Structure 1
Amino acid sequence: MTEHFRTPLELLFERTDLPRFALPAKLAEAYGGGLGFAEPCVVANFVASVDGVVALPGESESGHIVSGGSDADRFVMGMLRTCADVVMVGAGTFRKAGDDRFDAASIYPAGAALFAEARRALGLSERPRFAVVTASGNVDPKSPALENGLVVTTARGEAALRPIASSTTEIVALASQRLDVRDVVALLRDRGARVILSEGGPSLFGELVAAGMLDELFVTTSPTLFGRFPNDGRKSLVSGSDLGGKPLELLGLRRDGSHLFSRYAVREKR
């Protein structure tokens, strides 16, 4: 009998007509079925508490705390990064990411060989391109994630970063002083990105949905409660955008213990 790579996620529901990429059998088994996307697409991934908290104040990376250190959540992040041409985040998320290189092996090292095999089979580069979106340019240019990475910014952000950035980091200043996510996505498309994965934060996510740029949303619901009080710095899934009841369609649902893994399509309001 073939040894399991990890305990498989339990498949509770999935639409039968979803695309499937040619992934290694052990990855598909561990995920509880196939994974794929209709290209081109923009996909977002978050972990949220049952009461909707996705980001916490302070310097620590929020996802690990909110997920309770879930191994399955890190595995799903690795799966999504494996399928992505680009992993994109906002500056706030990037500043709290530590030494994360925003590739699959960084978040789930046990799957590194299988993730690499999958990317080769999909005709993708060794690791996804990393892109950080920042109007101010207030990010650490020495972060390992920015080696051969991309900073999408404004003229003032470029002026702040250009003198101190590594020669391997590409800096692109868009014309507007207020970044428009439609321009950001268009820039990534021009560079050949078919599957763009956004990992936050709540402000960038809200802008993507409000602009009609987001196709799918993956949410890990962690069996935790954090609570809220005024001005506590805790953020829910969307920050700074009025989405007016944007409808979602459930595409899939998986389980690992008390953690639920939901996949939604983002639909236009009827």
Structure 2
Amino acid sequence: MTSHPARVGAALSVGSMASAQLGLAVAVGLIDRIGAEGAAWLRLVWAGVLFLVVVRPRRAAFTRTTFGICVLLGIVTALISMLFMAALARIPMGTASALEFLGPLGVAVVSGRGRGRWAWPALAAAGVVALTQPWHGRIDVVGVGFALTAAACWAAYILLTQRVGDGVSGLQGLGVSMPVAALVATAAVGPFVVPRMTPDMILIGLGLALLVPIVPFTLELLALRRLNTAAFGTLMSLEPAFALLIGFLVLHQVPGPAGIVGVALVVAAGIGAARGGARLPAPVQPG
């Protein structure tokens, strides 16, 4: 029987993915207006400002080591967002999500133990292939490259987020990492995207930041306090399934039989990963 922390962690992960995919579906519509880099920058800046104001990180909550990890997490967070939005500008949402999932899948394989170490990730990978059907259509090599690099960053993000969750209490870690991500994005693309901003785009960016990344990253931080990285990484296999579902509900993209089979496979893998995926409570730094 699945332990209570694992069930809670799985529920938090599912909520994170649903919010993220809905936000990305909305963001796709912004790419034509402000570019992929503009959509990523707008989300990150709003998220950085809101986390800084609401969380108000305290110096006493960090050691030199944990603060450095939070800064590194912020850099990786910015790279994930900018690279994935660049991929979405070139390849379909479902394909980009499936390629990005290779990062969490790698974490699941490397950190997993026992028979399920390969079984659940393999089942999830089969589902991703059925969902995306990569043998159909032409492949944009640059878009695939962006998505694969985002996958590597996502793997690093999972490991760093768990360390931040273990070492820093509450949401203090995100109160540092998200402003850092905003600064990195501004340094990278700010001069190019700021002139494109209009008042309505700025307001849309506020709502978009709530969907991606504020709600997902908060839920993921909480989930990784309850799940091991193998279970969490495999649970992320549900991401392409959510992309398919949101695409159907929001973008009116009707899935074929292979897509339905893919959803069934990744859901089964996600359930399997969640069972026995609870962690022992980790000590948290005071403050």
Q: Please give the range of the TM-score, normalised by the shorter of the 2 chains.
A: under 0.3
Looking at secondary structure, tell me which structure has more strand per residue.
1
Length-normalised TM-score, structure 2: 0.26
Length-normalised TM-score, structure 1: 0.27
Higher relative contact order (CA 8 A, sep 6+): 2
Looking at secondary structure, tell me which structure has more helix per residue.
2
